Chains A and B, each alone.
Chain A
Amino acid sequence: MTKPDAEEALVLVVEDYQDAREMYAAYLQFSGYRVAEATNGEEAIEKTLELLPDIILMDLALPKMDGWEATRRLKSDERTKHIPIVALTGHALAGHAEGARQAGCDSFVTKPCLPDTLVAEIKKMLPERGPQGGDGGKSALRKPGRRR
């Protein structure tokens, strides 16, 4: 197991369900990422502004401020809008996927989502990191792949 260091990408996991949040965090760390956690939308915005993560995994059903609202705010903020957001939704309906995309999510995965599937998606969404670490440029924004 490689130990995470400053060179590794920082993933902000936003999930109110503790078991799931910790499970994803553990697996991401196991997979070599740095992980920060938030339990609701407000905290997600605070942590993002504070840490400027390389990518955000955002559960949409959140207390206080839901994932859609948090995504909209982050995507409308110049400081944070470049950060890719992968939505995590329990609603597999097309309408929800569309709603997530409209809110500004770059990609989404459906629960239940096995940890390795999630990691694969994050890997896909992360911009290619140079020697100086992620530049967070606009080239990082990619069309999300179609998921079924």
Chain B
Amino acid sequence: MAVHLAGVDVEAKLALLEFLLTNNDLQVSARRAVDWLAAHSTVEQALVVVSDPSSGSLLLVAEHGISSSAIVDFSLSRDDEAHPLVRAMDRLEPTCFDATGSHARAPIEGVPFFAIPLRAEDDTTAHGLLLASAPGSDLHPDVAWLGRMLGRQVSRLYSRQTLAETRFGQERMLLYSIINAVTDPILLTDTEGKLIIANTHAEKLFAAPEDASEGWRRAAGLNNMLFSAALSTNAVAQTDLARRELLLVDPLEGSDLLFELLSSRATDERQGTYVVSILRNITDLARAKEEIEESYRTLRLAQAEVRDERHRLDLIIDSVADPILVTDQEGDIVLMNEPAERLFTAPASAGDVALRHVRANGAHLTSFVSNVLTRGGEQRYRGEIQLTDPVSGRASPVEGLAGQILSEQGELMWVVTILHDLTEALEKARLFEQLRQASEELERKVQEATAELADQNELLRRQHIALEQASALKSQFLANMSHEFRTPLNAILGYTHMLLHGVTGPVSDTQRKSLSRIDSNSRHLLALINDILDITRIEAGRMPLNLTTFKIPELVDEVMSELEAIIKRSNLTVRSTMPRALPALKSDRQKVKQIVLNLLSNALKFTPAGSVTIAATYDPRGRTVTISVQDTGVGIAAEDQAKVFEDFRQLDSSPARGYGGTGLGLSICRRLSQMLGGTIDLESVSGEGSTFTLRLPARLRRR
């Protein structure tokens, strides 16, 4: 067994010894020794500690099979002389620890192990300790051998300097590993920005290898410049911890990378001030932030739109004059417009009566809305609700239309109810009915009036016909009367005439006197008949106008010559004064002559002495002609002047009147002058004379 073992062990031992002899690093040597144990012995757990001369603590330099927590927890000082391991270190021989573990703070637990002091044979004190598990509670010779070999090596290499270097190197290596393990680029620079240390991630950004592409190198150069610039502004800022964003270029991808640059100052007594910079890639973060901001904006916009929508909806709902309510499935009002509020809410100041009305209205509404809530399938319900105006207390009959609002999944969400006030509709219907009745009444009245009018028209038509007939009859009667009166008068006058002319034989003076009376009375009767016929014709409108143009002086001469016999008999001075510039008169010559004849014969009749003057004038402004007859006769008293134009007026109405005439002359003259568009006026002083003035339009137009 030994031979066999020796055979194998010798070569391994020789190789180890050779390594140890050529190796001057305490830690490396210790590791190699532990590895050798793991490979060539039954030892499963092993570790090597070396005492630190400066601090006196025992430092772990190599291990195998030891749990990491045990390594971290391991802490032991050379001065802790009561500790079993420290005591084991001071012995010459290895100390065995059993598995029961009264030895606290040992890195190997649960199995027996040996603590072998590491020293050279000539050393008085051990500089370290090898702990190795021992399954059989016996120290294996190879383990003991290794302990001796490692003891020599430790003794040889153990010195303060080497150990410090080893430790420093170890720590520095650890730091590098840590730094490199960090995924963020980390740089250590001096205050001038000169690079001291950069981890591998930083090197990727700021350093280009020899064989790198031109683009890579340029990108790295650019990144350096950007970084230096960022740092210098930081340095100027003089802040302990500066945080800013830095945009760099990915040398491989060429894309922009956004970093957050965290720089802080670190001061070391020996080396001075450093700047530690950590670059945190926030490219994705920035993108995410932008996206979040975008989403937020979108969200805000959407919210605003929803708000606007809601606002519009409110406006629309509020602008509707009819009450609109939205109720949920429970029948509770979730939304209503202002007209609805008047019915279903009461102001704080409202009295108990108003509150009662509001509650009653709510109950009515709930029962109404339940029609669409309970009736399966029916999405709408229409019906009348008897509500009460809370303020006035007046009954307000309304027509309600309730409709379901369904979600996209078809669930009933809300019920919208629109109420339409029927008061107005009922009032309108009532007014309409009144209007209709009034209209019918009016139509009936119009029909009646129309019928009456038609009747009256018919009556008028008949009356008109009757009048025409009557008029024709009257006209015929006048013509007949004229004939019938004249015919007997003609005979009377004729026979009287014959008698007076002795046709039937001689007549006595007495007979002649009587016959003369018959003759004059017959003539008077004839004159009366003629005058009455004239008046009747004028009144009946059957006196036609015969317009001609004639000269007034000629007419006056004619009249004077017709009355020549009377003028001669009267012994009066009769004159006519006609201006030269008198225009011709357009009128009915015969009627003008009749008037003048009448006026002149009157003047002659009523003027016992003196003169009669006929004068004519023309007024160019009024285009009127006047013919006046002035006498120096008996005159007419002022109170009688209006009467002379009346029918059958002779002022001296005594039976013995001496003037003759019918008493109709002036009356006819006035009528005739009116027919001719003119007037007759009278100026008179009783006892001094009269002036009758006929005023006529110079040119009468047929109307």
Please tell me if the beta carbons of B497 and A91 are within 8 angstroms of each other in the complex: no
Out of B482, B483, B497, B526, name the residue touching A115 (CB < 8 Å): B497
* A27–B500 alpha-carbon span in the complex (Å): 12
- Which of A19, A90, A91, A114 has the most chain B CB atoms inside 10 A of its CB? A90
Residues from chain A with a CB closer than 8 A to the CB of B501 are 116
* A114–B486 alpha-carbon span in the complex (Å): 12
Residues from chain B with a CB closer than 8 A to the CB of A20 are 487, 490-491, 494
* A115–B546 alpha-carbon span in the complex (Å): 31
Please tell me if the beta carbons of A112 and B503 are within 8 angstroms of each other in the complex: no
A23-B495, A91-B482, A116-B497 as given contacts; A111 in contact with B487, CB under 8 Å: yes
* A113–B526 alpha-carbon span in the complex (Å): 12
Residues from chain A with a CB closer than 8 A to the CB of B431 are none
Closest beta carbon of chain B to A108's beta carbon, Å: 14
Nearest chain-A residue to B483 (Cβ)?
A90
* A91–B489 alpha-carbon span in the complex (Å): 14
* A92–B486 alpha-carbon span in the complex (Å): 11
Residues from chain A with a CB closer than 8 A to the CB of B276 are none
B479 at the A interface (CB under 8 A): yes
Please tell me if the beta carbons of A26 and B503 are within 8 angstroms of each other in the complex: yes
Residues from chain A with a CB closer than 8 A to the CB of B498 are 23, 26-27, 30, 115
Out of B482, B493, B546, name the residue touching A114 (CB < 8 Å): B493
Nearest chain-B residue to A94 (Cβ)?
B546
Closest beta carbon of chain B to A104's beta carbon, Å: 21
| Interface bits A111-134 vs B (CB < 8 Å: 1, else 0) | 111111000000000000000000
Residues from chain B with a CB closer than 8 A to the CB of A92 are 482
A24 at the B interface (CB under 8 A): yes
Residues from chain B with a CB closer than 8 A to the CB of A30 are 498, 503
* A94–B489 alpha-carbon span in the complex (Å): 21
Closest beta carbon of chain A to B522's beta carbon, Å: 8
| Interface bits B485-512 vs A (CB < 8 Å: 1, else 0) | 0111111011101100101000000000
Residues from chain A with a CB closer than 8 A to the CB of B482 are 90-92
Out of A61, A90, A94, A115, name the residue touching B494 (CB < 8 Å): A115
Residues from chain B with a CB closer than 8 A to the CB of A94 are 546
Residues from chain B with a CB closer than 8 A to the CB of A91 are 479, 482-483
Closest beta carbon of chain A to B406's beta carbon, Å: 103
* A65–B503 alpha-carbon span in the complex (Å): 32
Interface range, B side: 10 to 19
Q: Which 3 A-B pairs have the closest CB atoms?
A: A112-B490, A90-B483, A19-B491
Please tell me if the beta carbons of B494 and A27 are within 8 angstroms of each other in the complex: yes
A17-B487, A91-B482, A111-B487 as given contacts; A24 in contact with B546, CB under 8 Å: no
Residues from chain B with a CB closer than 8 A to the CB of A114 are 493-494, 497
| Interface bits A12-34 vs B (CB < 8 Å: 1, else 0) | 00000101100110110010000
Closest beta carbon of chain A to B603's beta carbon, Å: 22
* A115–B482 alpha-carbon span in the complex (Å): 20
Residues from chain B with a CB closer than 8 A to the CB of A90 are 482-483, 486-487, 490
* A27–B498 alpha-carbon span in the complex (Å): 7
* A61–B491 alpha-carbon span in the complex (Å): 16
19 cross-chain CB contacts under 8 A: A17-B487, A17-B491, A19-B495, A23-B491, A23-B494, A23-B495, A27-B498, A30-B503, A90-B482, A90-B487, A91-B482, A111-B486, A112-B486, A112-B489, A113-B490, A113-B494, A114-B493, A114-B497, A116-B501
- Which residues of A in the span 79-105 have a Cβ within 8 Å of any Cβ on B? 90-92, 94
Since A20-B490, A112-B490 are in contact, a sample of 12 more A-B pairs with Cβ atoms closer than 8 Å, ordered by chain A residue number, is: A19-B488, A20-B494, A23-B495, A26-B503, A91-B482, A111-B486, A111-B487, A112-B494, A113-B490, A114-B494, A115-B503, A116-B501
Closest beta carbon of chain B to A103's beta carbon, Å: 17
Closest beta carbon of chain B to A113's beta carbon, Å: 7
* A61–B487 alpha-carbon span in the complex (Å): 11
- Which residues of B in the span 435-493 have a Cβ within 8 Å of any Cβ on A? 479, 482-483, 486-491, 493
Residues from chain B with a CB closer than 8 A to the CB of A19 are 488, 491, 495
Closest beta carbon of chain B to A122's beta carbon, Å: 15
Nearest chain-B residue to A114 (Cβ)?
B497
Closest beta carbon of chain B to A12's beta carbon, Å: 18
Nearest chain-B residue to A89 (Cβ)?
B483
Closest beta carbon of chain A to B589's beta carbon, Å: 11
Nearest chain-B residue to A1 (Cβ)?
B503
Please tell me if the beta carbons of B503 and A61 are within 8 angstroms of each other in the complex: no
Nearest chain-A residue to B537 (Cβ)?
A93
A23-B491, A23-B494, A27-B494 as given contacts; A112 in contact with B546, CB under 8 Å: no
Closest beta carbon of chain B to A48's beta carbon, Å: 23
Please tell me if the beta carbons of A112 and B483 are within 8 angstroms of each other in the complex: no
Nearest chain-B residue to A29 (Cβ)?
B503
Closest beta carbon of chain A to B281's beta carbon, Å: 137
* A111–B375 alpha-carbon span in the complex (Å): 115
Closest beta carbon of chain B to A77's beta carbon, Å: 28
* A116–B495 alpha-carbon span in the complex (Å): 11
* A116–B499 alpha-carbon span in the complex (Å): 12
A112-B494, A115-B497, A115-B498 as given contacts; A27 in contact with B526, CB under 8 Å: no
Residues from chain B with a CB closer than 8 A to the CB of A17 are 487, 491
* A31–B171 alpha-carbon span in the complex (Å): 197
A27-B498, A27-B503 as given contacts; A61 in contact with B490, CB under 8 Å: no
Nearest chain-B residue to A24 (Cβ)?
B494
Please tell me if the beta carbons of B490 and A111 are within 8 angstroms of each other in the complex: yes
Residues from chain A with a CB closer than 8 A to the CB of B495 are 19, 23
Closest beta carbon of chain A to B431's beta carbon, Å: 69
* A48–B689 alpha-carbon span in the complex (Å): 60
Closest beta carbon of chain B to A63's beta carbon, Å: 13
Residues from chain A with a CB closer than 8 A to the CB of B486 are 90, 111-112
Closest beta carbon of chain B to A4's beta carbon, Å: 14
* A147–B497 alpha-carbon span in the complex (Å): 21
Residues from chain B with a CB closer than 8 A to the CB of A115 are 494, 497-498, 503
Nearest chain-A residue to B533 (Cβ)?
A92
- Which of B493, B503, B526, B546 has the most chain A CB atoms inside 10 A of its CB? B503
- Which of A27, A61, A94, A111 has the most chain B CB atoms inside 10 A of its CB? A111
Residues from chain A with a CB closer than 8 A to the CB of B494 are 20, 23-24, 27, 112-115
* A30–B479 alpha-carbon span in the complex (Å): 33
* A23–B499 alpha-carbon span in the complex (Å): 11
Residues from chain A with a CB closer than 8 A to the CB of B487 are 17, 20, 90, 111
* A30–B490 alpha-carbon span in the complex (Å): 18
* A59–B526 alpha-carbon span in the complex (Å): 19
Nearest chain-A residue to B503 (Cβ)?
A30
Closest beta carbon of chain A to B519's beta carbon, Å: 10
- Which residues of B in the span 170-199 have a Cβ within 8 Å of any Cβ on A? none
Closest beta carbon of chain B to A95's beta carbon, Å: 8
Nearest chain-A residue to B502 (Cβ)?
A30
* A81–B634 alpha-carbon span in the complex (Å): 58
Residues from chain A with a CB closer than 8 A to the CB of B490 are 20, 90, 111-113
* A70–B672 alpha-carbon span in the complex (Å): 37
Nearest chain-B residue to A61 (Cβ)?
B483
* A19–B497 alpha-carbon span in the complex (Å): 14
A20-B490, A24-B494 as given contacts; A112 in contact with B526, CB under 8 Å: yes
Residues from chain B with a CB closer than 8 A to the CB of A116 are 497, 501
Residues from chain A with a CB closer than 8 A to the CB of B489 are 112
Nearest chain-B residue to A113 (Cβ)?
B490
* A113–B489 alpha-carbon span in the complex (Å): 10
- Which residues of A in the span 53-80 have a Cβ within 8 Å of any Cβ on B? 61
* A7–B503 alpha-carbon span in the complex (Å): 22
* A128–B212 alpha-carbon span in the complex (Å): 173
* A92–B495 alpha-carbon span in the complex (Å): 22
